[in-house]
Structure 1
């Protein structure tokens, strides 16, 4: 079932830029090759799309990503991520938001992770070269922990999976800087706090324009979990090289 969902998501990511461009959306689609460390050490391929649309005081954004990797014909990475957000301007700069996200990762200790929340955001810097905004607010976090075996006095013992639902708080920061018309730097940081486990993530990326629509990007992604299930690493890192296609601009 998970492989079927991954195939559907991958096809959707490939087709989304073309459908969205005709419907007034802007954004980007990317194809990447990466190297992952942490719970797995593997080279992998990835597809991703980001969408954005402004309608008066409302802004709609969406994000989807899928990563797959094999080592000696054995699957070593299979992850996909979906997120959507709606923002509403409340003043000249202050805005409110509602956000949901969903993730499945075959090689983590979780079958799935879901978050839904609301909050406020504010742009700290808005210039032609530099933009920096922050946002945060409360929400709910649901982690589906998978079945796993742990060593108990030398005997492999099955620990049944469980559902962990808790109040949470999300905080994020999005920074971008244009060095010139062709080269830019972005840094996105997010944290989802919950009593059981807190997720921390940071992606820093350097993008260089190749043509009006295509760019090359090098990025470094760090994901950290403060309390992973026993037997799993707390930190995963992904180093990526990507080709990016911008549409609707």
Structure 2
């Protein structure tokens, strides 16, 4: 039996018992009113039930006690069903294998770049996330590539893995392993490791804001063959804001801070929902190195237009 059916059946049974035991015979609720309330309960929609209950109270003030008993019984049944659903979900998560319960999104589109290269090219990204009881895992792959007349003018790849462990409702620890390649910024490979604490500043249905930070280690293979190793500090921001039913604003920002060369990256975007799984996105990416290797320009910008598929 589906959870919605269980909720409706349980609520109606509880309402019948309540009405039989708590309602005086002289205060019987009119049958059409009772039928209207039962029909609302059948839908399982709490807002619809609340509206019908409010109308019933206003039109049948002499039966307020019976109507209140019905409303209370429905609320109790909803709370019970919610606990059952939560327990079933937790059991499902605990029983899932490592390769189950992943959700993600794929992006494909075009970009316009300025800075160390000025061109238009293709952009692709894949983001995967798995939420467990205490653990959360994130995988991110982003690629921007452009080739013209046999010459590569944009070649940027980034791969990141970030596990989080929840310490409380809002506080968590994080780890980060990241690989980057961008020879136009002066390096063939840059490896970053970081660990620290994070906090969910806002955790609402329509807006979520998380901050995290900690020490970091970075190893860079420069385009001239040299290799550098640095210890720095890392800070990050992650904001998701559902502005409207079909419009979402996203903001991601990271900073690796060091006295000789700091790295800042910001991605601001708007997503427009097309249907249940498909969206289109506009994003502006800002990257800045305070002292980039070689003769690289300090600031790169990237404007993306992508098609997004959630799965």
> Tell me, what secondary structure is at the counterpart of 2:296?
coil
The answer as to 2:226 corresponding to 1:162 is yes
2:188 to 106, 111, 120: 111
State the partner residue of 1:52. 129
Contact 1:164 1:196 in 2 (8 A): no
Alignment of 1:46-195 (within 5 A): 46-147=123-224, 161-195=225-259
Q: How many angstroms apart in 2 are the aligned matches of 1:246 and 1:221?
A: 21
Q: Describe the superposition over 1:105-153 as per-residue Cα deviations: whole angstroms up to 9, x where unpaired.
A: 1322111111101000001111121111100001211111121xxxxxx
Identify the structure with the greater strand proportion.
1
The answer as to 2:114 corresponding to 1:41 is no
State the partner residue of 2:288. 224
Q: How many angstroms apart in 2 are the aligned matches of 1:64 and 1:189?
A: 16
Higher relative contact order (CA 8 A, sep 6+): 1
Q: CA deviation at 1:74?
A: 2.1
Q: CA deviation at 1:195?
A: 4.0
Q: How many angstroms apart in 1 are the aligned matches of 2:185 and 2:201?
A: 35
Contact 2:170 2:201 in 1 (8 A): no
The answer as to 2:282 corresponding to 1:237 is no
Larger radius of gyration: 2
> Tell me, what secondary structure is at the counterpart of 2:185?
coil
Count of aligned pairs between the two proteins: 213
State the partner residue of 1:157. none
Q: How many angstroms apart in 2 are the aligned matches of 1:229 and 1:92?
A: 42
State the partner residue of 1:207. 271
> Tell me, what secondary structure is at the counterpart of 2:294?
coil
Contact 1:115 1:139 in 2 (8 A): yes
Structure 1 runs of 4+ off > 6 angstroms? Answer: none
Task: For structure 2, list consecutive stretches of 5 or more residues without a partner in the other structure.
Answer: 1-98
Q: How many angstroms apart in 2 are the aligned matches of 1:75 and 1:230?
A: 19
Task: For structure 1, list consecutive stretches of 5 or more residues without a partner in the other structure.
Answer: 1-21, 148-160
TM-score, normalization by structure 2: 0.66
Please report the RMSD computed on the Cα atoms of aligned residues, expressed in angstroms. Answer: 1.2
Q: CA deviation at 1:236?
A: 0.5
* Greater Cα offset, 116-125 or 138-147: 138-147
> Tell me, what secondary structure is at the counterpart of 1:107?
helix
Q: How many angstroms apart in 2 are the aligned matches of 1:105 and 1:230?
A: 13
Q: Describe the superposition over 1:80-108 as per-residue Cα deviations: whole angstroms up to 9, x where unpaired.
A: 11000110011121100111110011322
Q: How many angstroms apart in 2 are the aligned matches of 1:130 and 1:113?
A: 33
